[in-house]
């Protein structure tokens, strides 16, 4: 069973479920705001059968990520450090390595708009030669028809191998 993790999601639920239907079986939505629970309950009640199942967790994203058995895909968008945003740099040095610890050994995917990235990591992840950091190699996957419409990037994440760089792989629907 493939699991996506969407930290700092707020009320962004329905569209991510549709976007991820060919990638995962379940999406774990996470936010610190307890007031979102009633909205989440309504979304769960209105769930469409052919979409991934939705699980909602309120709390610290690092604790919740550590409780997940595996994370195959990190989905993260529309966040900011300013008012109304989480102020959490999910793609930065303090949070991303914790999430990557939950990725399977063969790697996974990140689908993001680059929100709250630090140190130009996102820009380096999507450049032609990618980025190697935290023991992982990040390369933009170039077949992403649906994601292009939403200004999201699919990033292939694999364990770094010191002997050779890892090319981006082609993304195939489940």
Architecture per CATH, 3-159:
3-Layer(aba) Sandwich (3.40)
Residue 10 CB coordination number (10 Å): 17
Element housing 28 (H / E): strand 26-31
159 has a pLDDT exceeding 90: yes
pLDDT digits (tens, 9 = 90+) for 134-156: 999 999 987 666 677 888 999 99
Q: What is the pTM of this model?
A: 0.87
pLDDT given for residue 126 in this prediction: 92
Distance CA 136, CA 56 (A): 28
pLDDT at 107: 96
Closest CA to 81 of 73, 72, 93, 89: 89
How many residues are listed for the chain in this entry? 174
Q: What is the pLDDT of residues 85-96, one digit of tens each?
A: 677 888 988 899
Per-residue model confidence (pLDDT) at position 144: 66
Residue ranges with strand state E in 15-166: 26-31, 53-58, 73-76, 108-112, 131-133, 136-140, 153-159
What is the token pair recorded at 7? 């930290």
> 131: pLDDT confidence band, cut at 50, 70 and 90?
very high
Average pLDDT, the chain: 86
Phi, psi dihedral angles at 40 (to 5 degrees): -60, -40
């Amino acid at each position: 069973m493939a699991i996506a993790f969407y930290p700092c999601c707020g009320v962004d639920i329905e569209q991510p479920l549709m976007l991820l239907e060919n990638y995962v079986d379940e999406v774990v939505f996470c936010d610190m705001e307890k007031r979102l629970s009633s909205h989440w309950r309504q979304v769960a009640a209105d769930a469409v059968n052919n979409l991934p199942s939705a699980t909602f967790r309120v709390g610290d994203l690092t604790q919740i990520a550590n409780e997940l058995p595996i994370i195959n895909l990190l989905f993260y968008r529309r966040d900011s450090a300013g008012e109304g945003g989480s102020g959490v740099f999910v793609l930065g040095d303090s949070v991303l390595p914790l999430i990557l610890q939950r990725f399977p050994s063969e790697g996974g995917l990140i689908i993001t708009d680059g929100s709250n990235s630090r140190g130009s990591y996102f820009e380096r992840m999507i450049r032609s030669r990618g980025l190697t950091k935290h023991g992982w190699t990040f390369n933009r996957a170039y077949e992403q028809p649906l994601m292009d419409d939403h200004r999201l990037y699919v990033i292939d994440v694999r364990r770094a191998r010191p002997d050779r760089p890892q090319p981006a792989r082609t993304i195939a629907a489940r």
